[in-house]
Structure 1
Amino acid sequence: MSPRATATRAHGSRPGSRTGALPGREKTYNYHNLQHPGTLWYHDHAMGLTRVNLLAGLVGAYVIRQPSLEMTLGLPYDEEFDRPLVVFDRSFNKDGSIYMDPKGNNPTIHPQWQPEYFGDAIVVNGKAWPYMTVRRRRYRFRIINASNARFFNFSIDNGLKFVHVGSDSTYIEKPVTTNSFVLAPSEITDVVVDFSKSKSKSAILTNSAAYPYPSGDPVNTANCKVMKFIIKSEHESDTSTIPKTLIKYPPPSLSATGALTRHIALYEYTSPIDEPTHLYINGLSYDAPATETPKVGTTEIWNVINLTEDNHPLHIHLGLFVVLDQTELVDVDKFKECMSKYNDAIKCGVHKYAVGRKTEVPAHEKGWKNVFKMMPGHITKIHVRFSYIHSNESYPFDATAEPGYVYHCHILDHEDNAMMRPLKFTH
């Protein structure tokens, strides 16, 4: 069956309907949709239960379009050739219901929690290992990784390539061609694939990312395959194009007095037998008072220090950011020892340790992001903008209103226990 674009509202609902809601528990949220065009997704965010509710299917794609701007680019734009692909992994019981370990790794500490959920089947737009019949022409795929914990290293066989035109919720400045790319949980990439270049009648979208990423187990024969494209034989004219330039946004602006700089440290805690028990940001639980209180409309510099062995996709609510560089930490064990004692990057002399090799940011990820992969044993420097990036205008709502926002690792099992911190805005 062909995967189809996911609707921008919950399946089965109607505008104004209250299907499934409990009396007196409804709440209406209005989205202004004034930001730049791009691809987003929405999902449940219940404290401590996000991973469970997303496994149950509370996710959806959300595409914002601006025809007056986008039609001039010449990219595939028609609904038939512009498709969201919401990709995730699941395990199933024999009756078809979703399987999740009911006990978890440490049930006496955190019932039902496991460090990462990995499913046996790869699902695209609600169908396990689907196929899609395509014509010999360009297609645009807005690929959303909606997995709880699985990273994907996507490639496509038969010599086909990806042309990246967007990353997360924004366009990139110039198209970038790749043979493969890594997509973390909650990351989005917007690519064009030209099936007219295929010499065969089919192509397979595959995955080669280890799990956990980057140093876990290799993928098996089941989860290395994502979906199949059946390519029609007839060649046809294609009026779509890929322009040399796409959309350029203003660069991150710093005030005359300089931007506020923060150090954000990621920790993992284990039991005496080295079993993961929980994860914290800056050594603090979610319930601890907010320490990140940016002013609306400002730009800040965040140095994110990953002291764990996992790659953590960091997501900042209401913030878009540009990744400047990733630098390897040297003498990591010595630095960890100091951080475990003082939990203070400056006091521990982080700049003495952040002198290792630098990892280049992939060309297709050098634009504005709202999720990025924080490499283990590295410090990642980002410029975070707390306003609309296409105009530098403030939000059309009061961002300082309670209960506020959050930033967190988007491995849902980590977020739920408890790699998430409050984000409180000020004027």
Structure 2
Amino acid sequence: MTQKLEKFVDSLPILNTIKPIRKRNNKAYFEVRMEEFTQKMHRDLEPTRLWGYNSQYPGPMFDVQKGEPIEVKWINNLPNKHLLPLDESIVHHEPEVRTVTHLHGSETRPESDGYPEAWFTKDFKQVGPFFKREVYQYPNRQRAATLWYHDHAMGITRLNVYAGLVGMYIIRDQEERRLKLPSGDYEVPLILSDRSFNEDGSLFYPSQPNNPSRNLPNPTIVPFFLGDTILVNGKVWPYIEVEPRKYRFRVLNTSNTRGYQLYLDSGQSFYQIGTDGGLLPSTVKLDKLAMEPAERADLIIDFSKHEGKSIILKNDLGPNADSNDETFDVMQFRVTKPLSAEDNSKIPNRLSIIPSLKTNMVAGYRNLKLVESKDPLGRPMPLLNNKKWEDPVTEKPRLGTTEIWSFINTMPVTHPIHIHLIQFQILDRRPFDLDLYNKTRQIRYLGPAKQPAPNERGLKDTVAAPAGEVTRVIVRFGPYTGQYVWHCHILEHEDHDMMRPYVVRE
């Protein structure tokens, strides 16, 4: 970014809810178009050229009821040329602009899951080898939760998501309604992302790593990306005016690489009531919240004792952060609106009952290593169990069975691991001697296994697998059979082979 942007000058956009075109066979039917458009991201930036669902970033929000299935036709109306630097060396012989939408966290049949090779081009003129249908079916049979939808096209997910192809999807149910949580105007989605901009307002995304080799193609994929501004709901460092009362915030991290450590500069705590798969068993009081890419957190913040104050949602960058880094701020809350009515909402202690999968009979154990590798051009290429995307499928759980997957992270950074189709439970994390492993390939544990934090004890579909630790999750596979994927949700890693297919068998 070549210019310094002033913070907290734009108000937070409130996401609009999409309406169905019609009801067909007792299902609401929607059409969503992926289109190129321009949008003001900051008061002092020229409009930015973006790609988005229904010509907006983020896309429209789906707000649906549990047990009420919907149909969505995702339509690619994008130009034939990509607006970001496209490395053609990692995916060959495929059209430059291709899309497929994945509803992240949803229990759907494989043909509606957004498989990376189920991509399609404008007007469905070209389709990938796994393309099955134009209209996707979402059963919405799972518990209430904050899901999200985003592009998942093979080899270019990082670019399509960075261009703007993301949106939120909320499932509601009766259990949640009975809790009297803040609702209506007092329930606000917050979609976090990071971006960098050129002087003319256009998106900046690097075409080369910092120290490129002369042998690399140009453009070439970078191993990670961190933008130098933080956006919420498509605005750079926005503010929101709130009343002195309780609010519910559905927070979603859609950044390509960036994880967040969120806290409030007022020193007050917030209350986490939900995670990826919906409500937690009980409310967790937090002073700081860690969120890796693709994770969701359902929070309640009480502004009742802060009338007239301004509070900044901060991002802790750690003790070694660059003092010139502007990404330690996320957004601002201004407690300046008068109280419109008495606040009768609650922060319940007990929230939901989540049966433990530990009581299930475990049919299989899988040790899955996250390993550093190099591609034929010498570029970093992290892999899952040392396998590439095109290698034969090795994970084939049976429908209805329970397995324990151990993610053994032999790399120096945290990887957020996402498994399609299911919601799992985190069992524990156990540190091992990473230096010894790198010398001898032996795992020597440095201490006992650690239980997940209280705010990780709900249902999850994305788990932070820290460096030098074995992260164990327990998974029951269902409700459908077919071919799905599991992958790192750092999008630059996912696009460069840190993604594997898996099959749920009969």
The answer, yes or no, to whether TM exceeds 0.5 is yes
| Contact 2:277 2:458 survives alignment (8 Å) | no
**Matched residue of 1:413: which SS?**
helix
> Of the candidates 238, 241, 244, which is equivalent to residue 346 of structure 2?
241
> Of the candidates 280, 300, 312, which is equivalent to residue 192 of structure 1?
300
Report the equivalent of 1:49: 156
The structural deviation recorded for 1:48 is 1.2
> Of the candidates 374, 381, 384, which is equivalent to residue 278 of structure 1?
381
1:130 corresponds to which letter in structure 2?
Answer: P
Report the equivalent of 2:315: 207
2:14 corresponds to which letter in structure 1?
Answer: R
Report the equivalent of 2:473: 382
Report the equivalent of 2:205: 100
**Given the alignment of the two structures, is residue 417 of structure 1 paired with residue 496 of structure 2, yes or no?**
yes
**Given the alignment of the two structures, is residue 335 of structure 1 paired with residue 437 of structure 2, yes or no?**
yes
The separation in 1 between residues aligned to 2:414 and 2:322, in whole angstroms, is 16
1:261 corresponds to which letter in structure 2?
Answer: Y
**Given the alignment of the two structures, is residue 76 of structure 1 paired with residue 176 of structure 2, yes or no?**
no
Q: Specify whether residues 220 and 199 from structure 1 end up closer, same or farther in structure 2 by C-alpha distance, changes over 3 A only.
A: farther
Q: Specify whether residues 159 and 270 from structure 1 end up closer, same or farther in structure 2 by C-alpha distance, changes over 3 A only.
A: same
Report the equivalent of 2:418: 315
The structural deviation recorded for 1:253 is 5.1
The structural deviation recorded for 1:104 is 3.2
The separation in 2 between residues aligned to 1:370 and 1:218, in whole angstroms, is 32
Cα displacement string for residues 45-70 of structure 1 (whole angstroms, at most 9, x for unaligned residues)? 1111111111100000111112x222
The separation in 1 between residues aligned to 2:358 and 2:178, in whole angstroms, is 28
**Matched residue of 1:288: which SS?**
coil
Larger RCO of the pair (alpha carbons < 8 Å, separation 6+): 1
Cα displacement string for residues 218-259 of structure 1 (whole angstroms, at most 9, x for unaligned residues)? 574411111111112644520100112111122115554x33
**Matched residue of 1:364: which SS?**
helix
User: Structure 2: which 5+ residue stretches go unaligned?
Assistant: 1-10, 19-31, 33-52, 61-71, 79-121, 126-132
**Matched residue of 1:116: which SS?**
coil
CA RMSD of aligned residues (A): 2.5
The structural deviation recorded for 1:216 is 7.7
> Of the candidates 320, 334, 350, which is equivalent to residue 230 of structure 1?
334
| Contact 1:3 1:131 survives alignment (8 Å) | no
The structural deviation recorded for 1:307 is 0.2
Report the equivalent of 1:20: 77
Which 10-residue stretch deviates more, 405-414 or 200-209?
A: 200-209
Cα displacement string for residues 391-417 of structure 1 (whole angstroms, at most 9, x for unaligned residues)? xxx34xxx32xxx21101111111111
Report the equivalent of 2:54: 11
Cα displacement string for residues 102-130 of structure 1 (whole angstroms, at most 9, x for unaligned residues)? 22355745743111111011000011111
Map 1:131-210; keep pairs closer than 5 Å: 131-198=239-306, 200-209=308-317
Q: TM-score, normalised by structure 1?
A: 0.86
The separation in 2 between residues aligned to 1:262 and 1:103, in whole angstroms, is 36
1:72 corresponds to which letter in structure 2?
Answer: R
**Matched residue of 1:278: which SS?**
coil
Report the equivalent of 2:427: 324
| Contact 1:6 1:84 survives alignment (8 Å) | no
| Contact 2:179 2:348 survives alignment (8 Å) | yes
The structural deviation recorded for 1:16 is 6.1
| Contact 2:193 2:253 survives alignment (8 Å) | yes
The structural deviation recorded for 1:317 is 0.5
2:175 corresponds to which letter in structure 1?
Answer: L
User: Structure 1: which 5+ residue stretches go unaligned?
Assistant: 340-347, 388-393
| Contact 2:76 2:123 survives alignment (8 Å) | no
Report the equivalent of 1:345: none
The structural deviation recorded for 1:200 is 4.4
| Contact 1:6 1:61 survives alignment (8 Å) | no
The structural deviation recorded for 1:36 is 0.6
The separation in 1 between residues aligned to 2:73 and 2:373, in whole angstroms, is 45
> Of the candidates 275, 290, 294, which is equivalent to residue 397 of structure 2?
294
**Given the alignment of the two structures, is residue 405 of structure 1 paired with residue 487 of structure 2, yes or no?**
no
**Matched residue of 1:269: which SS?**
coil
| Contact 2:244 2:307 survives alignment (8 Å) | no
1:84 corresponds to which letter in structure 2?
Answer: P
The structural deviation recorded for 1:202 is 1.0
| Contact 2:415 2:465 survives alignment (8 Å) | yes
Report the equivalent of 1:58: 165
The separation in 2 between residues aligned to 1:209 and 1:6, in whole angstroms, is 32
Report the equivalent of 2:356: 251
2:190 corresponds to which letter in structure 1?
Answer: L
**Matched residue of 2:251: which SS?**
strand
Which 10-residue stretch deviates more, 110-119 or 375-384?
A: 110-119
Report the equivalent of 1:87: 192
The separation in 2 between residues aligned to 1:17 and 1:313, in whole angstroms, is 27
The structural deviation recorded for 1:188 is 0.5
**Matched residue of 1:289: which SS?**
coil
The separation in 2 between residues aligned to 1:306 and 1:207, in whole angstroms, is 25
Report the equivalent of 1:342: none
| Contact 1:149 1:412 survives alignment (8 Å) | yes
Report the equivalent of 1:260: 364
- How many percent of aligned residue pairs carry the same amino acid? 36
